[in-house]
Structure 1
Amino acid sequence: MNEFLQAFVSLLAITNPIIAAPIFLGIVAGMPVAARRRSAGQAAMAVLAILAGAAIGGRYILELFGISLDAFRTAGGLVIILVGLDMLRGSPSGIQQDHASPEDAQDRIVVPFAMPLVAGPGAITTAITLSVAYPSRLYLPVIALFASVATAAVLWATLRLALVRQRLATPRVERIFTRFMGLILVAIGFQIGMLGIRDFFGLGGA
């Protein structure tokens, strides 16, 4: 359970649904109410597919390129720390941002909203890192997969709430949430990175 909570909090922090909500509202502005609701579900499903794919297949991709799990845990932990430090400054990490502006609003639900704004390189790296981060009684990607499902569910709920109350994601709430989750993300990234360094150099205890 502790490993699941850490994985869930990591993905939740880096996808940051509260930050994403006002952007989503801008994308769906002008759509019928029913279409907006469907778009929230489509965005959540797209994010789930991206994160789950990274959690399930990421380990095999590493093996294909000959990258050790410990080395990736260390590098992934560093990426998570850098994203968290950016968030501590009160703004979304640059690794999550995208400046593309596709013409069709429905297409923008998937690109750039679901990817790379929400499930961008940082979130994908986090999902892969979490899938190999903690030795567990469970098959390694399962925890990251469940965390991906929970993250997508929170994103869906946040977007639906934002549609009901468009003032939910105020600038002040965004700043507070971003800084708090940034601090959590730095701590989790540091722990994952240190575990990778320990195991890479064979420093683990009995």
Structure 2
Amino acid sequence: MFFKVIALSLLALLPMVNPPTTATLLLGLSKGMSREQIARQVNLTAIYLFVTLCISFFVGSSILELFGISIPGLRLAGGLVIAFIGFRMLFPAPSRPGEGPLNQNIAFVPLTIPSLCGPGTMALVISGAVEISHVPHTISRFPIYAGVVVSFILISLLSWGILKLAGPVCRLLGESGIDAMTRVMGFLLICMGMQFCINGIKEVAQDPVFHGIVATESSALPERARELMGNDIKP
């Protein structure tokens, strides 16, 4: 059971996490950073990814219920964040003379959230936790939870190894190549953000609760019209 859970978790999470996409994003955002700064951001990203996956798995559904946040709302918020970052990369602010290298923290946002652990990954992890909670009590849950945590560790290590390759690629591209990569990735991020928003809107439109409210309001209109017409009719 332990190894089966690890294999299934890796197969489900790898396409969602997609570390190569985040590596290209790191290429665009690491312009002006030194090797030490890039290495620090990569190390922090791996740690943040593991912590975020664990939080989403163990208390993610409780946090969403506590604040009344739905998965479509999570997708819309993530899409807006990605689109905002994309605009900043596509149309960067002009650098001032004598301005030093960048010293910003990009490990948590946007590398970990929403790139590596976006709304889709969170929804997958939270739904998996809900499914495990419905496992019969006759089956031991310790190997299941242990397998999930180990898969989170492996995903974080794999992402760390792929992001480490971004440094040599930066030196290979040079300053002009990184600037071009930044603008291309900015445009792609805007497209990704808009797609996240579209998916969130589609989920809201397909929600049975939403359809129930619309149906109730539409069915109440004829009754309200008949009441108004009945009031106007004199005996």
**Structures share a fold, TM > 0.5?**
yes
Task: Say if 1:108 and 1:146 are closer, same or farther in 2 by CA, change over 3 A.
Answer: same
Cα distance between partner residues in 2 of 1:133 and 1:127: 10
Name the counterpart of 2:154.
150
Name the counterpart of 2:108.
110
Correspondence list, 1:144-183, <5 A: 144-165=148-169
> Match of 2:108, as an amino acid?
V
Task: Say if 1:31 and 1:17 are closer, same or farther in 2 by CA, change over 3 A.
Answer: same
Name the counterpart of 1:138.
141
Percent identity reads 23
Counterpart contact for 2:18–2:116, Cα < 8 Å: yes
Name the counterpart of 1:122.
120
Tell me how far 1:12 sits from its aligned partner: 1.7
> Match of 1:29, as an amino acid?
K
TM-score of the aligned structures, taking structure 1 as reference length: 0.57
Q: Which has the larger radius of gyration?
A: 2
Task: Say if 1:96 and 1:144 are closer, same or farther in 2 by CA, change over 3 A.
Answer: farther
Q: Deviations over 1:7-30 (max 9, x none)?
A: 122122101001111101211122
Tell me how far 1:165 sits from its aligned partner: 4.0
State the secondary structure of the residue aligned to 2:165: helix
1:99 matched to 2:83? The reply is: yes
Cα distance between partner residues in 2 of 1:96 and 1:37: 28
Cα distance between partner residues in 1 of 2:114 and 2:58: 19
Counterpart contact for 1:27–1:109, Cα < 8 Å: no
Cα distance between partner residues in 2 of 1:46 and 1:96: 21
Tell me how far 1:58 sits from its aligned partner: 3.1
Counterpart contact for 1:4–1:143, Cα < 8 Å: yes
Q: Deviations over 1:66-118 (max 9, x none)?
A: xxxxxxxxxx9xx9xxxxxxxxxxxxxx9698122379762332112211121
Task: Say if 1:113 and 1:107 are closer, same or farther in 2 by CA, change over 3 A.
Answer: same
Counterpart contact for 1:39–1:109, Cα < 8 Å: yes
Which has the higher mean CA deviation after the structures are superposed, 19-28 or 142-151?
142-151
Counterpart contact for 1:98–1:112, Cα < 8 Å: yes
1:46 matched to 2:30? The reply is: no
Tell me how far 1:164 sits from its aligned partner: 2.8
Cα distance between partner residues in 2 of 1:105 and 1:120: 24
Cα distance between partner residues in 2 of 1:96 and 1:153: 28
Name the counterpart of 1:16.
18
Task: Say if 1:105 and 1:98 are closer, same or farther in 2 by CA, change over 3 A.
Answer: farther
Listed as ranges, the gaps of 5+ residues in structure 1 are: 66-75, 80-93, 168-206
Task: Say if 1:146 and 1:154 are closer, same or farther in 2 by CA, change over 3 A.
Answer: same
Which has the higher mean CA deviation after the structures are superposed, 135-144 or 10-19?
135-144
> Match of 1:124, as an amino acid?
M
CA RMSD of the aligned region, Å? Answer: 3.5
Counterpart contact for 1:3–1:143, Cα < 8 Å: yes
Which has the higher mean CA deviation after the structures are superposed, 16-25 or 129-138?
129-138
State the secondary structure of the residue aligned to 1:100: helix
Name the counterpart of 1:178.
none
Cα distance between partner residues in 2 of 1:8 and 1:57: 20
